[in-house]
Amino acid sequence: MTTQRKPFKTEVQQLLDLVIHSLYSNRDIFLRELLSNASDAIDRLKFEALSAPDLLATDPHPKITLVPDKAARTLTIRDNGIGMNAAEVEANIGTIASSGTRRFLAELKERKGSSLPELIGQFGVGFYSAFMVADRVVLHTRRADAEAAAGVRWESDGSGEYTLEEAPKAERGTEIVLHLKEDMAEYLEEWKLRKIIKTYSDFVEHPIVLTTPAEDGKSAPKEETVNSQKALWQRPKNEITAEEYAGFYRHLSHDFDEPLATLHWQVEGATTEFRALVFIPKSAAFDFLAPERRQHGLQLYVRRVFISDHCEELLPPWLRFLRGVVDSGDLPLNVSRELLQDNKQIRSIRNNLVKKVLDTLTEMKEKEREKYETFWKAFGPVLKEGMHLDAANREKLQELMLFGSAAKAEGALLSLAEYVAAMPEGQKAIYYASGESRKALENAPHLEAFRAANWDVLLLTDPVDDWVMQGLTEYAGKPLHSVTKGGAADLPPVKADAATDQPAASEDEMKPLLAFMKQHLGEQVKDIIASRRLTESACCLVADEHSMGAHMEKILRAMHKDAPPTRRILEINPAHPVIRAMAGLAARDGQGTLLGDYTDMLHDQALLTAGQPVNDLLQFTRRVSRLMADAAAKA
């Protein structure tokens, strides 16, 4: 074959221009692509050798070799795989003969300047990533079969043409020599090559050997296998020890502890094939809630080649605490390895992952309660997000939720099913209270009637709880009610304050006081009523059944979110000495300044108890001083 100079097809040249000038954001990808192509060539050789064993006779140990040469400013990637003949070189590299090429180009041009993907070796495109770092690429190859008597040499500077000629080559396989651009010398540094290999190609099945000059400059070059090749997930479970699992988990997560649970399985179906090795940590990392940590979860591999450690298509955000790998040999990829097509196979893998994790957690909760509570205390707030985000799995998730409660000691947890099983006769709803801490909730006046009636109340202290409860309105036929909302109509009548022998003020006695307070507070409250939930405290604020809770309002304010002010109902306790005294005062002098001060003090007290700021702090302090002076004068 004489040397042939040929132009690239129009589509290829357009695609090459995009690759070189604007397509890739991460230049390191070029080496991943070329190493992946070399690994594929070896895999194909081994496949063909099943029917033609002689293909491996002369060189039975496939490998990939990298040779950086600083003096020549070249990086060589060499494999002893299947190789190519002239026709295959032209078909695979010179033309990208795909009916979809024009469509892909059109899509890429439309997206140029916004969110361009990074190309893969599919359609022969990955090879062209070499031109991002090289101004000349030389490919020398020879096919492994006996008919390929001579090698083939392909060369191009990416400017529009390539040459193709016959060139003797003693060994099978392919050698690619990259003549690096002047500003790409870092890809000749040993540390840089090691980093890229460890990041993207550490688990490639075949050895990746880095060849570097001897330190004395005289001895034979040093050769070292850089990749570990230890794709633990590819091995049968019964051949892997607990120590190996723990070691691999530490490698992935940088956690010094062992995982709480290890899930290792594979799926081989007609439409989906993948292997997964997933770990549930014992505890959250110190920076787990940092925004950048949300970008990491399961690592995605395709045929042992690293693709991404943030694949939203495979893992819902409420399972982001998981660590591990998913490896598939047949994942459908579009022109970007980073952008998976949202098709049936992807959804199938995702659904399988979610089901496996939820089934594992369910079994752990039922059979290893202490272990599950360790998990829940670390990641319960994250798992709860699924109640709001994933309607399809809401029933499974609600069975996994655990809560503290007013009837349980601090640290003790119970499920919704356990709460319902312990409900006394006559209780028709599940009650909960949300706030910043257990101590604050235990002391909240809203719980007094429930405590007196011996009805338990779930105590919710995670910031996400109010959000979650918007989607959890019923369980086992029992409605869920916040004790800080509504009227708690199914509560038994509240008895008078046990600390006094005085009966509660009657309805008639309360009318003048309620009328005065409503007029005095005006738009500051939605209504003022005699309470059925208070046994010890004088007052509390409650919200309508469908209004925003005080805790949620406080969270939004802390996040600098605009939350419309909520007018709440002020409940007062007719049996409390202060309220009885105020009722008497209202009957004698319904317009007195003193009664106005008392009313404002009650409202401010209710605001503080609810964790809300008082309306006017200066007036509050003056009012306290005035009432103290009045009380002292009468003492």
Contact 483, 446 (CB under 8 A): yes
Domain assignment present for 366: no
- Judged against a pLDDT cut of 50, whether residue 98 lies above it is answered with no
- Judged against a pLDDT cut of 80, whether residue 218 lies above it is answered with no
Comparing 185-199, 339-353, 473-487, 523-537, which segment has the lowest mean pLDDT? 339-353
Domain assignment present for 183: yes
CATH code of 426's domain: 3.40.50.11260
Question: Residues 335, 450: one domain?
Answer: no
In this prediction, residue 109 carries a pLDDT of 56
Q: What is the pLDDT of residues 467-506, one digit of tens each?
A: 888 888 899 999 999 888 876 556 665 554 544 456 778 8
Q: What is the pLDDT of residues 417-427, one digit of tens each?
A: 999 999 998 88
Quote the percentage of the chain above a pLDDT of 90: 42
Determine phi and psi for 300, rounding to 5 degrees. Answer: -100, 130
Domain assignment present for 358: no
Instruction: Determine the Cα–Cα distance for residues 173 and 529; give it in Å rounded to an integer.
Output: 88
Grouping H, G, I as helix, E, B as strand and the rest as coil, residue 211 is strand
In this prediction, residue 498 carries a pLDDT of 47
Q: Which domain holds residue 271?
A: 232-353
Average pLDDT (151-170) is 90
Q: How many CA atoms lie within 13 A of 510 on its CB side?
A: 18
Domain assignment present for 418: yes
**Which residues are registered as beta bridge partners of 355?**
none
* Burial track 545-563 (b if 16+ CB lie within 10 A, e otherwise): eebbbbbbbbbeeeeeeee
Question: Residues 605, 624: one domain?
Answer: yes
Sign of CA dihedral 494, 500, 506, 511: negative
Instruction: Determine the Cα–Cα distance for residues 414 and 595; give it in Å rounded to an integer.
Output: 46
CATH code of 539's domain: 1.20.120.790
Instruction: Determine the Cα–Cα distance for residues 178 and 236; give it in Å rounded to an integer.
Output: 39
Question: Residues 160, 249: one domain?
Answer: no
In this prediction, residue 190 carries a pLDDT of 95
Contact 259, 280 (CB under 8 A): yes
- Judged against a pLDDT cut of 80, whether residue 31 lies above it is answered with yes
Question: Residues 131, 192: one domain?
Answer: yes
- Can you say whether residue 477 is alpha, beta or left, with left for phi > 0 and alpha for psi between -120 and 50 degrees? left
In this prediction, residue 134 carries a pLDDT of 94
Q: What are the Cα distances from residue 208, in Å, to 36, 80, 191?
A: 11, 12, 15
Domain assignment present for 282: yes
Average pLDDT (8-13) is 70
Helical (H) or strand (E) element with 630? helix 617-634
**What's the length of the chain?**
635
- Judged against a pLDDT cut of 70, whether residue 563 lies above it is answered with no
**Which residues are registered as beta bridge partners of 179?**
74, 136
Residue 552 or residue 617, greater confidence: 617
Instruction: Determine the Cα–Cα distance for residues 349 and 354; give it in Å rounded to an integer.
Output: 9
91 confidence band (pLDDT: 50, 70, 90)? confident
Torsion of CA 241, 246, 249, 253, to 10 degrees: -170
Average pLDDT (307-315) is 78
pTM above the 0.85 mark?
no
In this prediction, residue 122 carries a pLDDT of 42
Residue 507 or residue 337, greater confidence: 507
Last residue of a domain, one of 353, 385, 409: 353
In this prediction, residue 65 carries a pLDDT of 97
Question: Residues 41, 174: one domain?
Answer: yes
In this prediction, residue 114 carries a pLDDT of 43
In this prediction, residue 354 carries a pLDDT of 95
Domain assignment present for 487: no
In this prediction, residue 268 carries a pLDDT of 85
Question: Residues 176, 196: one domain?
Answer: yes
Last residue of a domain, one of 448, 482, 516: 482
Question: Residues 63, 157: one domain?
Answer: yes
Number of domains into which the chain is organized = 4
- Judged against a pLDDT cut of 70, whether residue 260 lies above it is answered with yes
Q: What are the Cα distances from residue 521, in Å, to 116, 510, 598?
A: 59, 16, 11
Instruction: Determine the Cα–Cα distance for residues 209 and 222; give it in Å rounded to an integer.
Output: 10
Domain assignment present for 127: yes
Chain centroid to CA 383: 10
Grouping H, G, I as helix, E, B as strand and the rest as coil, residue 15 is helix
Cβ-based neighbour number of residue 309 at 10 Å = 15
The Cα angle at residue 457 between residues 453 and 461, in degrees rounded to 5 = 155
What is the rounded average pLDDT for all residues in the chain? Answer: 83
Question: Residues 89, 213: one domain?
Answer: yes
Chain centroid to CA 72: 46
Instruction: Determine the Cα–Cα distance for residues 188 and 196; give it in Å rounded to an integer.
Output: 12
Instruction: Determine the Cα–Cα distance for residues 362 and 383; give it in Å rounded to an integer.
Output: 13
Instruction: Determine the Cα–Cα distance for residues 164 and 180; give it in Å rounded to an integer.
Output: 21
Q: Which of 53-57, 93-97, 362-366, 523-527 has the highest mean pLDDT?
A: 362-366
Question: Residues 72, 143: one domain?
Answer: yes
Strands 222-225, 152-156: pairing is unpaired
Comparing 411-415, 519-523, 613-617, which segment has the lowest mean pLDDT? 613-617
Amino acid code (one letter) for 626 = R
- Judged against a pLDDT cut of 90, whether residue 572 lies above it is answered with yes
Q: What is the pLDDT of residues 274-304, one digit of tens each?
A: 999 999 999 987 656 655 555 557 888 887 8
Average pLDDT (366-370) is 96
Instruction: Determine the Cα–Cα distance for residues 539 and 2; give it in Å rounded to an integer.
Output: 99
Cβ-based neighbour number of residue 101 at 10 Å = 21
- Judged against a pLDDT cut of 90, whether residue 365 lies above it is answered with yes
Average pLDDT (41-59) is 87
Question: Residues 215, 238: one domain?
Answer: no
Average pLDDT (142-169) is 86
Chain centroid to CA 74: 41
Quote the percentage of the chain above a pLDDT of 70: 81
CATH code of 243's domain: 3.30.230.80
- Judged against a pLDDT cut of 50, whether residue 337 lies above it is answered with no
Question: Residues 190, 54: one domain?
Answer: yes
- Judged against a pLDDT cut of 80, whether residue 561 lies above it is answered with no
Question: Residues 470, 526: one domain?
Answer: no
338 confidence band (pLDDT: 50, 70, 90)? very low
Contact 174, 81 (CB under 8 A): yes
Last residue of a domain, one of 186, 202, 225: 225
Domain assignment present for 454: yes
CATH code of 175's domain: 3.30.565.10
Instruction: Determine the Cα–Cα distance for residues 93 and 127; give it in Å rounded to an integer.
Output: 8
